[in-house]
Amino acid sequence: MTSLPVIPTSSRKCLIRRPTRSTGIRRFIRCPTKSTTCDAAVNTLTAPVSAAHLNYLLRIADSSLILGHRLSEWCGHGPVIEEDIALTNVALDLIGQARALYTHAGESEGRDRDEDVFAFNRPQEEFCNVSMVELPNGDYACTILRNFLFTAFQRELWVALHSSSDAALAQIAARSVKETRYHVQHASDWTVRMGDGTDESHARMQRALDYLWPYTAEFFSASLDDGETAKSGIGPVWSALEAAWRNAVLPLLDVATLQIPQRTAFVSRGKEGMHGEHMQTLLSEMQFLQRAHPNCKW
């Protein structure tokens, strides 16, 4: 019977177990299996976040995802190739931001939900995006103006989240604000170009502003969780961002020769899960594959 080779003392050091997520497997095995015991311990190291904290993350993530999906509908339909690519890149940035937030939310709540579960396995009433982003794209003027109004708000939010007590959220904000500044610049340039352009382009931009402006009130409307998240330092109350947003938006709309509509009592409630008729159609398309093949793996 052949005896097993003697492992030199210097080689034995590599077998000393270090803290890993794999147990009972020597370190030189290429594909160690996960230990459910270790995984469970890792998942319980941090207490799950509060419902208010989770909802705050989802409000931002859902708004980015839904707008990203809407912009993806322009792929192959842009007015010129350069703008087709530009809108697609903005969509990819927004979906990337949503993915980062969903991943963080899933790790924080401790219920084994990942980014795909948040995006594809939730019903309409569990989405808490602002209503503006779920509206149909309309023409190019409407799409551009919505991008300007929303990303100008999003930029102020990311800047404020730099100092979040949620370290992971602060890191996501620091990365995302760089992308969002480009989104604002791109939409700003086109808003001025079309608003102060031909009679036709001006009329389309004014019509888009009249349609979209009432939905901006929801950016700053109160949410039930605002007090808790602000007190714990997770993020600002969104109403605190209105002054900075208006200081950025109003001067540019003036340069674009667009007239600001009068504010009405209308306030959309997408943040509270109350969506318009367009949201269900959007989700039916976006979630089709997961609905047809639940829990599929690729």
For 205-237, how does the pLDDT look when each residue is reduced to its tens digit (9 = 90+)?
A: 999 999 999 999 999 998 888 889 999 999 999
**Mean predicted confidence (pLDDT) in 88-94:** 97
CA atoms of 63 and 85, how far apart (whole Å): 21
Q: Choose the weakest-confidence range: 10-19, 117-126, 228-237.
A: 10-19
Task: Compute φ and ψ for 56, nearest 5 degrees.
Answer: -65, -45
- The answer to whether residue 93 scores a pLDDT higher than 80 is yes
Enumerate residues 6+ apart whose C-beta is below 8 A from 182.
Answer: none
- The answer to whether residue 72 scores a pLDDT higher than 50 is yes
What mean pLDDT value characterizes the chain?
Answer: 87
The per-residue pLDDT for range 30-51, each reduced to its tens digit, is 444 443 433 333 343 356 889 9
Q: Which domains, and CATH codes, for the chain? A: 48-260+267-289 (1.20.1260.10)
Note the helical H segments in 13-75.
36-43, 51-72
Residue type, 275: H
| pLDDT of 203 | 98
Choose among 61, 42, 163: nearest CA to 104: 61
The per-residue pLDDT for range 158-182, each reduced to its tens digit, is 999 999 999 999 999 999 999 999 9
- The answer to whether residue 200 scores a pLDDT higher than 60 is yes
Residue type, 213: W
Q: DSSP letters along 239-276, please? A: GGGHHHHHHHHHHHHHHTT-PPPPP-S---BGGGTB--
| pLDDT of 57 | 97
Enumerate residues 6+ apart whose C-beta is below 8 A from 115.
Answer: 98, 99, 102, 103, 106
DSSP character at residue 15: G
CA atoms of 47 and 263, how far apart (whole Å): 43
| pLDDT of 5 | 52
Confidence of residue 112 (pLDDT cuts 50, 70, 90): confident
Whole-model pTM over 0.85 = no
